[in-house]
Amino acid sequence: MAARAVAPNALDRHVALVGFMGAGKSTLGPVLAEKLGRRFVSVDAMVEERASASVAELFSKQGEAAFRELEEGAAADVLWSGPPAVVELGGGGLGSAPTRRALEQRAFALLVETTPEEAWERVAGTDRPLAADPDRFRSLFEERRALYEETADGRARNVEDAVLAAAGVHVARGSLDRLAELAPGDGAVEVVSDANVHALYGERARTALTARLRLTHEVPAGERAKTVSHADHLWSTLRLERDGALVALGGGSTIDLAGFVAATYLRGVSWVPVPSSLLAQVDAAIGGKTAIDVPAGKNLVGAFHWPARVVVDPDLLRTLPAEELENGLAEVVKTGLLAGEPLWELSTHEQVRCCAAFKAAVCLRDPFDRGERAQLNLGHTIAHALEAASGYALPHGRAVALGLLAVLRLSGLEDDASMVEEVLAPDPAQVDRDAVWEALARDKKAHGGTARFVLLDAPGRPRWGVELEPAALRSALEGVIH
Ligand SMILES: NC(=O)c1ccc[n+]([C@@H]2O[C@H](COP(=O)([O-])OP(=O)(O)OC[C@H]3O[C@@H](n4cnc5c(N)ncnc54)[C@H](O)[C@@H]3O)[C@@H](O)[C@H]2O)c1
């Protein structure tokens, strides 16, 4: 029998929550649905509504077989129709071959993990028909385990991990060493890596990929790599076929370049970013935006190309220079302000997991940047203008920190502005005021005359597309320029 194809993500698919009774699917489901901006459907609730009877009543009056038939019909109706939803399947639902087929075609099956002990704790004493006896419960758990494992496209225990799995993002220490298994499919792989990162991790990537690795391509470190000539060199030297995958091992610059090349080579091949900087782990590797720079501007040529998988190994950050960590920390603070949670107070590993999950959720809701993804620009319009006015001498993290300070003051959130001063401590920028103003005017023109400012009504409550009075904007800029 051919191996089942694993769905890489839930971009155009339902998220189907599978797993044993008591795993927490009905608690996780509605929260996940809200995060993904999708409706939540419980197959058990559909059955109960259609039969005008509870699952327990159906079991006792009509027997399990009759219930399974109704369950199969309801699962088919929801899985084969409608825009992608979050669908909770009952613990025994996978016993149906038609349901498994529908899952394979239409869903990303997310296994909600639990142990028999945890599950029993949750269901003991309820009216669930199959949870009357602890020994029978445990043996049913063991019986069904293989089927859950076999069906799962991803697994999670909490909502952040569920969002990450749905976006195809794998965050785990040591995941670099598991690249061969994490890069989807079994075709050849070529690696693009920047000179610094290649020297540090190239050998480990090579060892991990073993026979799947065909070629490695080295590009310069930093923004210098994001040019047409480096893209052209890669287009000319890649040997991948359509079933191959391009691995981008490096910071945001390598990832933007390699992602753009993957989007265009053979009209699109799979790609797997392996972000090695904090900024790339929490931001650049997530969401499928790729770009190179051209003389007319940074990131002006690019494509949306969702990665087949993102492999995030927080241990790679151990070698990251301090100033690069600071660049990433500014994005962590931005994400925390958007999420309304002090994510900057977490350990680095948790910062990465939570920030990546936040961005992944926004991008799953708005993959082509047509609406609410604009919130991710919080502080960035001003940051970009400061960077441009400094001739790109101002570090990105400091520019973002100053941009955040300015928009928080414009939002009237002085306490949060003080937090940014405390956590990121950015010195004001030494740039020419008129040059900043001109850069802001250019930015507005480049975006069809649309305002790109994001303000916060409160942490966790962003408002985008805000027009600002020139006088208010000027005065906020004064506060961040030396
Ligand atoms: N596509 C997106 O959604 C998106 C979002 C944000 C930023 N970006 C882009 O990301 C780029 C910036 O990314 P960046 O900040 O990662 O910079 P970068 O890729 O230029 O890397 C910065 C430096 O850190 C080094 N480095 C990276 N990982 C290392 C490690 N583990 N150990 C030691 N050194 C390491 C690199 O060699 C480089 O010298 C910009 O071009 C920006 O436009 C893209």
Are 22 and 140 within 8 A, CB to CB? no
pLDDT for the residue 445: 76
**How far, in whole angstroms, is CA 342 from its chain's centroid?**
19
Q: Which residues contact 299 (CB under 8 A, 6 or more apart)?
A: 226, 256, 291, 292, 293
Going residue by residue through the chain (482 aa), what tens digit of pLDDT does each one get? 455 678 999 999 999 999 998 899 999 999 999 999 999 999 999 999 999 999 999 989 999 999 999 999 999 999 999 899 999 998 889 999 999 999 999 999 999 999 989 988 888 878 777 777 888 888 988 999 999 999 999 999 999 999 999 999 999 999 999 999 999 888 999 999 999 999 999 999 999 999 999 999 999 999 999 999 999 999 999 999 999 999 999 999 999 999 999 999 999 999 999 999 999 999 999 999 999 999 988 999 999 999 999 999 999 999 999 999 999 999 999 999 999 999 999 999 999 999 999 999 999 999 999 999 999 999 999 999 999 999 999 999 999 999 999 999 999 999 999 999 999 999 999 999 999 999 998 887 777 777 689 999 999 999 999 999 999 999 999 999 99
CA of 442 to the centre of ligand 1 (A): 25
Tell me the β-bridge partners of 155: 111
CA–CA separation, 233 and 194 (whole Å): 14
Q: Ligand 1 mean position to 280 CA, how many Å?
A: 6
How far is the centre of ligand 1, averaged over its atoms, from the C-alpha of 252 (Å)? 4
3-state secondary structure at position 466: strand
Distance from Cα 395 to the centre of ligand 1, integer Å = 12
H-type alpha helices, 307-395: 322-339, 348-365, 380-389
Ligand 1 midpoint to CA 223 (Å) = 8
222 lines ligand 1 (CB under 6 A): yes
- Please classify residue 318 by burial: count the beta carbons closer than 10 Å to its beta carbon, then call 0-12 exposed, 13-18 middle and 19+ buried: exposed
CB 452 within 8 A of CB 374: yes
The label of the residue with tokens 């590993």 reads 349
Distances (CA, A) of 147 to 6, 54, 95, 114, 151: 14, 26, 8, 15, 6
Q: What angle do CA 171, 404, 197 make, to 5 degrees?
A: 40
* Amino acid type, 181: E
C-beta of residue 284 within 8 angstroms of C-beta of residue 256: yes
86 three-class SS: strand
Distance of CA 28 to CAs 12, 151, 329, 378, Å?
Answer: 20, 19, 29, 29
Name residues whose C-beta falls within 8 Å of residue 19's C-beta, 6 or more positions apart in sequence: 25, 91, 111, 112, 113, 114, 148
Q: Where do we find the tokens 């993102």? A: 310
CA–CA separation, 107 and 153 (whole Å): 9
Query: Which residue's alpha carbon is nearest to atom 12 within ligand 1?
Result: 252
Atom of ligand 1 nearest to the CA of 287: 3
Q: How far apart (Å, rounded) are the C-alpha atoms in residues 35 and 100?
A: 26
CA distance 93 to 95: 5
What is the C-alpha separation between 253 and 351, in angstroms, rounded? 21
316 lines ligand 1 (CB under 6 A): yes
Task: For Cα atoms 316, 319, 323, give the angle at the middle one, nearest 5 degrees.
Answer: 115
**φ and ψ of 168, to 5 deg:** 80, 25
For residue 53, give the DSSP letter.
Answer: S
Q: Which of 148, 163, 36, 165 is nearest to 93 (CA)?
A: 148
Q: Torsion angle, CA of 403/409/412/414, rounded to 10 degrees?
A: 110
pLDDT score recorded for residue 65: 94
Of all protein residues, whose CA lies closest to atom 8 belonging to ligand 1?
Answer: 284
Identify whether the C-beta of residue 28 lies closer than 8 Å to the C-beta of residue 162.
Answer: yes
* 226 Cα nearest atom in ligand 1: 41
**287 within ligand 1 shell (Cβ under 6 A):** yes
Three-state DSSP at 417 gives helix
| Rounded Cα–Cα distance for residues 349 and 362 (Å) | 20
* pLDDT value for 123: 83
Helix axes 116-123, 134-151, angle to 10 degrees: 120
Classify 392 in phi/psi space as left (phi over 0), alpha (psi -120 to 50) or beta. Answer: left
Please give the Cα distance from 429 to 298 (Å, whole number). 20
Helix, strand, coil in percent for the chain, rounding step 5: 55, 15, 30
From residue 19, alpha-carbon distances to 128, 147, 152, 405 in Å are: 15, 9, 9, 45
DSSP summary character for residue 438: H
Whether ligand 1 lies within 6 angstroms of the CB of 210 is answered as: no
329 lines ligand 1 (CB under 6 A): no
Q: Residue count of the chain, please give it.
A: 482
- Helices 25-36 and 348-365: angle between axes, nearest 10 degrees: 60
Q: DSSP strand E in 62-198: where? A: 86-88, 107-112, 154-156, 169-171, 189-194
Sign of CA dihedral 453, 458, 459, 462: negative
